[in-house]
Structure 1
Amino acid sequence: MSPVVQLAVPLDSPVARIALAGALGLFLGLEREWSDKPAGVRTFSLISLLGAVFTTLGRDGLLAVGGVLVIVQGTVLAIQGLRDEDLGLSLTTSVSMLVAYGVGALTAAGFVIESVTVAVLSSLLLVLKRELHTFAGALSREELRSTTEFAILAFVIYPLLPTGDVTLGSGPLAVELEPRVVWLMVVAVAAIGIVNYAIVRTYGGRGIAVTGFFGGLASSTAVVGTMLDSVRQHPSATSYAVAAVLLADAAMALRNLAIVLAFTLPDVLVGALVPLVVVVVGSVAIAAVTADWNTPVEMELDSPFSLRNVLAFGAMFAVIILAGGIAQSEFGEVGFYVTAVLSGLVSSAGATASTVSLYRTGSLAGETAVIAVLLATASSIVVKAALTAAGPSRSFASRVALWSAVLLAGSLAAAVLVTL
C-alpha cells in the first residue's frame, strides 16, 4: 500500500496563517461591500494579505511602508468623502482598512486568537452602526458622565491597584487587606447601579426588586450600595428597596445551597441545607408580603449611580474588612470560624466553596463544615443590614435590620432542629 500523503497544513505554518489572514480580511469587507462602499470584500482581503506577507518576510521597513500605503489610501477616500459630503462613512472605511492591515499582521505573527477577536469585534461595530448611533444619541448628560466614571473605576483605577495583600498596621494590630477586592466591590456597586437604572427605566419601581435578585447572584453586598442610592433619589421606593435586599439574600443563599448540593454528593451536608432553604424561602416570602406590588411607583432616577455614594460604600466596606481582620487575629482557637465570617463579608460563595473543598478531602469534619457555611451566610446577611445603617433613610435601615434578624432567627431555629 502506498503511504498516505498528509495534506493538512498546521495552523502555525506561514501558509495557513496567510490564508487565514485573507479570510479574515474578506470577513471584514463583507459589511463594507453590502453597504456599497468604495472598498469591499476584495480590497479588504488584499489589504490583510499584504499585512500578512510583509510580516512573514520579517522586514520591519516593509511592514511600515505597507501601513503608510494603507493610510494614504484611506486619506484619499476621506478626501473623496469630504467632497461628496459623506466624510463620516469614508472615515469609517479608511479606519477599517487599517484594521484589516493590522489583522493580517497579527495573524502572520502568530497572534491568531487576537486577530480573530479584532476581526469579529470590528465587524460587529460596523454591522451595529444604526443601533450604536441610536444608543449614543439617546444618552443624557448624566448617563454619559456615569458611563465615563464607571469606565475609569473599572478599567483605569482597578488595574493600577497592587495585587495581593497589603499589610496595614504592625504587631498584633497588623491586618492584611486586598485593595483590589475592596475596589472590586466599588466597581460591582457601580455596575449593579447601571443595570438597576436600565431596569427601573423599563419597569418602574418594581424593577428595583428584579435588580436585587439578579444582582445578588453576582454580589449580594453590592446590591445594598445600589439600593441606598435608589432610596436617596426616591424615598417612595423604600419598600421595593427592602424587598431587593431580601431577594439579594435569597440569591446569595440559593447560590450557597447550589454549591453545597453540587459538590458534597453523595455525603450531602444536610445540616446546612435546611437553614439555607429557610433563608431562600423566607427572604422571598417576606419580600412578596412587605412590598406593595399592586401599587406601581413611577420613578425617574437622576443618574445610573452616584460616584460619591459608591466610594463611600467602598470605604465602609473596607472598614468592616479591617475590623474583621483584627477580630481574626485575636481569636486563634476559633480561627477557621472567624475566617468563614470574614470571608462572608466579601463573598459567602467563596467561603462556602473553600469549606466544601476541605470537607471533600477529609480535612474538615462535617459538623465544622456546616457551621462554617452557615456562619458565612449569616455574615453576608448581617453585613448588608449593617451597611444600610449608614444610609440616608432610617426607615430603610430599620426594616432591613428587622427582617434580617427574622431570617437569622429562622435559619438558627432550623439548624437546631436538624441537629436534634
Structure 2
Amino acid sequence: MIEVTLQIVDAPLEETVVRIALAGALGMFLGLEREWSQKSAGIRTFSLISLLAAVFTILVLETAVGESLLVLGGLLVIVQGVLLAVQGLLSADEETGLSLTTSVSMLVAYGVGALVAAEFIIEGVTVAVLSSLLLVLKRELHEFAWGFSRQEMRATTEFGILAFVVYPLLPAEYVLQFGTITLELEPQVIWFMVVAVAGIGIVNYAIVSTYGGRGIAVTGFFGGLASSTAVVGTMLDHVNQRPESASYAVAAILLANAAMAARNLAIAVGFTIGGDQSLLVEAIVPLGAVILVAFVIAGATADWSESGPIDLESPFSMKNALAFGAVFLVVLVFGSLSEEWFGALGFYATAVASGFVSSAGATTSAVVLYRGGQLGPAEATIGILLATVSSIVVKALLTTTSANQVFRNQVAAYSAALLLGGAVASVVLVI
C-alpha cells in the first residue's frame, strides 16, 4: 500500500492537472458576466469550452491524434456561436439582440483554454482578464464611442495606425553615414517618443473638452500639455473681447508654459529609464525652476473668480504627427552633425532654433543623443532648457499682436521672469 501511494504522488501529472483546472477556472471567469447578463451561454458552457480546448491541446502535445480534435473542437464552437447569433437575430427580445458578443466570447474561451494548456499561462490569463473587462464595461464603452465626433474618431484611428501599425514595422537600430561621420539612430525609440507626445495631446484634449470651462488651471495647464499655442490663441481672442479678463489670461499662458516644461521634463526623465546611460536627473532642477516660477506667478496674480473655455480643433492629426517626426529627425541629424563639427555649441544653437518650432522635438532629440552617448548629461540638459526657453519666447512674441497693452506687458514681464529662473538654474547646473 505504501509503495502504491508513493507512485501516485510521484506521478508526472501535477502540472497537466493544474493547467486543466486553471483553464476551467478561467472559462468560469469569462462566463460569469454572460450568466449575470442572462445570455444563452453562461458559466457552465464557458467552463466546458475552455476545458475542451485544454484537453485537445494536451492531446496535440502528447499524441498524434490531438491536432484534428483541436481543429474540430474549434469548428464546433464556431458553429455553436453562429447558431446563437441566428437565434438572437430571430428573437423578438430587443435585449437579446444578435448575440455576437456571446458567440465571440465562446471562441475566446476556447482560445484561453488552449493557451493555458500549451503552458502560455500569462498570455491566457491576460486574454481572459481583458475579455472580461470588455464584457463588464459594455455600457461605458458604448457611451464613450457614441460621444465621439467624426473628426475625433478619425483622429483616434490615425493615432492607432501610427502607434500599432507603423511602430512595429520600424527597425530597432539604423546607421546613417555622412562621410567619415557615423550616426546611430533608434527608429523605434524615436517613433515611440512621437507617439507618446501625440498620446499626451489626445488624453489632455479629452480633459480640456470636459473641464475647459470650469477653471483656469485646467484650461491653462492641461491645454498647454495638448497645445500651448492653442492656449495663447484662445486667450488672445478672449482678451480682445473682454479686456477685463487679462489677469487670468496671463495666468493661463504661464500655466501653459509650466505644462510645456513639465512635458519636456517627463520626456527627459521618462525616456532615459532603462537605457545604457544613467537617469537624466540633471534636467529636474532647471525645468523644475521654470515650472515653479510659472505656478507661483500665476497663483499670485490671477483673478481666480474668472474661468474661460479653450477650444482645440482636433486631438490629433496625421499631418501634425508627420510634421513633428520630420522636424524631430532633422533636428536630430543636424544636432548630431553640429555637435560632431562644433562641439556642444553647435547642438545648443540647433536646440534654440528647433525650440521655436517644437520644444518637444528638441527635447526628444537631446534625449536620443544622450541615450546614444553623443551628449553628456549637462549638455543634454542645457539643450533641453534652451529649447524650453525659446518656446516661452515664441508665446510672448505671439501676445504682442494683442491690442491690450496691459496684457502684452504682463506676459512679457512674467515670461522674462521665467527666462531668468531658467537662466539661474542653468548657471547653477554648469557651476
Shift of 1:304: 1.8
What residue number does 1:345 align with?
363
User: Which residue, out of 63, 71, 92, partners 2:70?
Assistant: 63
**Contact 1:75/1:94 (8 A) holds in 2:** yes
What residue number does 1:183 align with?
191
**Contact 1:51/1:102 (8 A) holds in 2:** yes
User: Which residue, out of 258, 262, 271, partners 1:246?
Assistant: 258
What residue number does 2:293 align with?
282
**Contact 1:193/1:304 (8 A) holds in 2:** yes
CA offsets 1:308-365 (integer angstroms, 9 cap, x no match) = 233323322222222211111114598999999999721777889999xxxxxxxxxx
1:116 partner letter = V
What residue number does 1:365 align with?
none
Pair 1:111–1:37, CA change in 2 (3 A): same
Q: Which SS does the other structure have where 2:99 is aligned?
A: helix
Provide the C-alpha distance between the structure 2 equivalents of 1:236 and 1:290, rounded to a whole number of angstroms. Answer: 20
Shift of 1:54: 0.4
TM-score (ref. length: structure 2): 0.72
Correspondence 1:152 to 2:153 = no
**Contact 1:25/1:46 (8 A) holds in 2:** yes
**Contact 1:74/1:93 (8 A) holds in 2:** yes
Pair 1:286–1:277, CA change in 2 (3 A): same
Shift of 1:81: 1.0
TM-score (ref. length: structure 1): 0.74
User: Which residue, out of 78, 91, 94, partners 2:85?
Assistant: 78
Identity of aligned residues (%): 51
Shift of 1:21: 0.4
What residue number does 1:117 align with?
126
CA offsets 1:44-65 (integer angstroms, 9 cap, x no match) = 1000000000000012211110
Provide the C-alpha distance between the structure 2 equivalents of 1:208 and 1:11, rounded to a whole number of angstroms. Answer: 62
CA offsets 1:177-205 (integer angstroms, 9 cap, x no match) = 44334433432332122122211122216
**Contact 1:32/1:39 (8 A) holds in 2:** yes
What residue number does 1:263 align with?
none
**Contact 2:31/2:45 (8 A) holds in 1:** yes
Provide the C-alpha distance between the structure 2 equivalents of 1:403 and 1:254, rounded to a whole number of angstroms. Answer: 24
2:421 partner letter = G
Query: What count of residue pairs does the alignment treat as equivalent?
Result: 388
**Contact 2:389/2:422 (8 A) holds in 1:** no
What residue number does 2:179 align with?
171
Pair 1:177–1:399, CA change in 2 (3 A): farther
In structure 1, the gaps of 5 or more residues are 216-222, 260-268, 356-367
Provide the C-alpha distance between the structure 2 equivalents of 1:351 and 1:340, rounded to a whole number of angstroms. Answer: 12
Shift of 1:410: 2.9
CA offsets 1:63-89 (integer angstroms, 9 cap, x no match) = 110011111111221121111145645
Shift of 1:142: 1.3
Shift of 1:132: 1.3
User: Which residue, out of 28, 46, 49, partners 2:48?
Assistant: 46
Q: Which SS does the other structure have where 1:13 is aligned?
A: helix
RMSD of aligned residue pairs (Cα, Å): 4.7
In structure 2, the gaps of 5 or more residues are 61-65, 239-248, 272-279, 355-360
Pair 1:135–1:345, CA change in 2 (3 A): closer
Correspondence 1:308 to 2:319 = yes
Q: Which moved more, 1:103-112 or 1:397-406?
A: 397-406
